[in-house]
Amino acid sequence: MPRPDGRSNDELRPLVLERGANPYAEGSCLVRAGGTLVHCTASVEPGVPSWRRGSGQGWVTAEYAMLPRATSERTSRERNGPGGRTQEIQRLIGRSLRAAMGTMAFGEYTIRVDCDVLQADGGTRTASITGACVALADATAWLSRTTGVPDPFGCLVAAVSVGVVEGEVRLDLAYLEDKAAGVDANFVMLEPDRFVEVQGTGEAGTFSRAELDSLLAYGERGITQLFALQRKALGR
């Protein structure tokens, strides 16, 4: 069955990483994955959470939000704090970025990464992680230049969705595919081959070990391509 956008099953959506999209932030990246558009900024702030004070260690955290008209119908702003889905996603982004750090010994600073979804067409959490990594790398480089500490960034982290749609394993699901998926999975990896997170759910059924292996294989191949695009954006 052809995909809505004509891609092959193992093909990523066109991905653009616009590094330095925000001139005010210490690090930033505007990421476009097909029809999904996320603005990622990394801000370096003095101070750390109370439980970390006096340790000499820094902290990396993330926040995630969607604009009201990021989707086909307007959704209300989360004025009373982030809802359950938002909290889940921003915790995932934060965990992924902390895994990418080589050390937290960069002084008592917090690097706060904001991922704001301007337009959503599936894969907003995975696009956020991939773009946020670029923003984080620039923010840690800024911190190193400013304070003289060695750059604490460790390695690239990227993420992608994979699913089973109409009995076929497909990489990097757009919204219509995600909505129709019988199995939905998200993978987060550190370069070159370490997993940070493996999420897989049988939305409308179950899946076999062979299907899980196929999902993992598609995900790994896709993320390897994302690493190359991140390196190109960062000039590495």
In the block, tokens 């990896």 appear at: 189
Count of domains for the chain: 1
Pick from 178, 181, 191, 173: nearest CA to 130: 191
Is position 3 within any domain? no
Q: What is the pLDDT of residues 145-155, one digit of tens each?
A: 999 999 999 99
Find out whether 75 and 68 touch, Cβ atoms under 8 Å.
yes
pLDDT mean across residues, the chain: 95
What is the domain-level CATH number for residue 181? 3.30.230.70
pLDDT category, 220, cuts 50, 70, 90?
very high
**What predicted TM-score, i.e. pTM, was given to this entire model?**
0.96
Provide mean pLDDT across the span 86-106.
97
The DSSP H or E segment spanning 202 is strand 194-202
Is position 66 within any domain? yes
Q: Is the pLDDT at 203 greater than 90, yes or no?
A: no
| Peptide linkage before 192 cis (omega within 30 of 0) | yes
Q: Is the pLDDT at 38 greater than 90, yes or no?
A: yes
The DSSP H or E segment spanning 184 is strand 183-190
Q: What is the pLDDT of residue 131?
A: 98
Cα–Cα dist 16/12, whole Å: 12
Q: Is the pLDDT at 1 greater than 80, yes or no?
A: no
Is position 7 within any domain? no
Percent of the chain with pLDDT over 70: 100
pLDDT category, 82, cuts 50, 70, 90?
confident
Q: What is the pLDDT of residues 162-202, one digit of tens each?
A: 999 999 999 999 999 999 999 999 999 999 999 999 999 99
Is position 135 within any domain? yes
Is position 10 within any domain? no
Q: Whole domain around residue 73: which residue ranges?
A: 15-234
Is position 49 within any domain? yes
